[in-house]
């Protein structure tokens, strides 16, 4: 196999990605998951225009107002803040943490996996044992430790979720690298004197990244749940910022008085995580089908 043929394979990558998208959308679970995530994302993007008011604004005399109160379709919370506004802006927090932190964790994990898979036995053993140690602990515990060190806040939560996801993506990428480096196209590139980093970044990573991509959506769902869990126990987003986790925490004492206070953010959280998991499952099945052909 020549380097020229490798270049032609690289040019076919966009077409392979387009076929993957079509395959995912052809599956009912993938289409449903994409639709749910897209609708929630659209609502989050348009939150400044859809929200009746600022999510931190307090309205005197409207504590725990019922749904349908003038100007407050879902009512208000215990601090007289509009629930619909807080739900819409809370979606922004969940999506930001879910997407940005998982993308960061995946990016770092890919780098670690590439170095581990191509760096020799000592480097591989060192990096993978570190990943094994991190994977031995529950994600929520690692998140609590990270937030305890970094402190609460949006940036700190993103770093914590990225840190939790890093070892998963590192192991996935390493497994792909170990498989790809034994194939003929890599051996041909090595025989022609191509540098190690060029082989890793130009050939091994694009061909081995599929399994990592298939896990992005599911990992984003886990990241959304982790942020909500940390916010629920008071280690996440700090008031008065809106977060579905903080809303669920604040609604515990008012379940009978203001049920929508808990039901709406809880239902949306469930739908978002379900949509992301269905989308990730459809991506995995589509990649498996493409690999069998």
Least Cα distance to 229 among 275, 274, 266, 257 occurs for 266
pLDDT digits (tens, 9 = 90+) for 18-47: 676 777 788 888 899 999 999 999 999 999
- Could you list the residue range(s) of the whole structural domain that residue 41 is in? 3-292
CATH number (domain holding residue 244): 1.10.3720.10
**Predicted local confidence at residue 17, as pLDDT:** 61
Q: How many structural domains comprise the chain?
A: 1
Q: Which residues pair with 76 in a beta bridge?
A: 82
| Separation between Cα atoms, residue 115 and residue 126, nearest integer Å | 11
pLDDT at 48 over 50: yes
What is the band of 114 on the pLDDT scale with cuts at 50, 70, 90?
A: confident
Q: How far is CA 200 from the centre of its chain?
A: 25
Least Cα distance to 99 among 164, 158, 183, 175 occurs for 158
| Separation between Cα atoms, residue 87 and residue 40, nearest integer Å | 11
Q: Which residues pair with 58 in a beta bridge?
A: 81
């Amino acid at each position: 196999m020549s380097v020229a043929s490798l270049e032609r394979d690289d040019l076919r990558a966009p077409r392979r990605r387009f076929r993957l998208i079509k395959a995912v959308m052809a599956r009912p679970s993938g289409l449903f998951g994409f639709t749910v995530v897209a609708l929630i994302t659209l609502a989050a993007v348009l939150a400044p225009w859809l929200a009746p008011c600022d999510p931190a604004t307090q309205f005197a005399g409207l504590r725990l107002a019922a749904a349908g109160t003038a100007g407050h379709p879902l009512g208000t919370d215990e601090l007289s803040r509009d629930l619909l506004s807080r739900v819409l802006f809370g979606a922004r927090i969940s999506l930001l943490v879910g997407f940005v932190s998982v993308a960061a964790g995946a990016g770092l994990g890919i780098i670690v996996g590439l170095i581990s898979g191509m760096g020799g036995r000592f480097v591989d053993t060192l990096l993978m044992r570190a990943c094994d140690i991190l994977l031995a602990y529950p994600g929520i515990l690692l998140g609590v430790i990270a937030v305890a060190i970094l402190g609460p806040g949006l940036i700190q939560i993103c770093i914590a979720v990225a840190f939790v996801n890093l070892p998963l993506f590192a192991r996935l990428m390493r497994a792909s690298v170990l498989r790809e480096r034994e194939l003929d196209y890599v051996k041909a590139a090595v025989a022609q004197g191509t540098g190690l980093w060029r082989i890793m970044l130009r050939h091994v990573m694009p061909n081995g990244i599929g399994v990592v991509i298939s896990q992005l959506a599911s990992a984003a769902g886990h990241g959304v749940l982790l942020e909500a869990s940390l916010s629920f126990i008071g280690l996440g987003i700090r008031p008065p910022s809106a977060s579905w986790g903080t809303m669920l925490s604040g609604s515990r004492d008012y379940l009978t008085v203001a049920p929508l206070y808990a039901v709406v953010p809880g239902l949306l959280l469930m739908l978002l995580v379900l949509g992301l998991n269905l989308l990730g499952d459809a991506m995995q099945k589509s990649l498996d089908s493409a690999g069998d052909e």
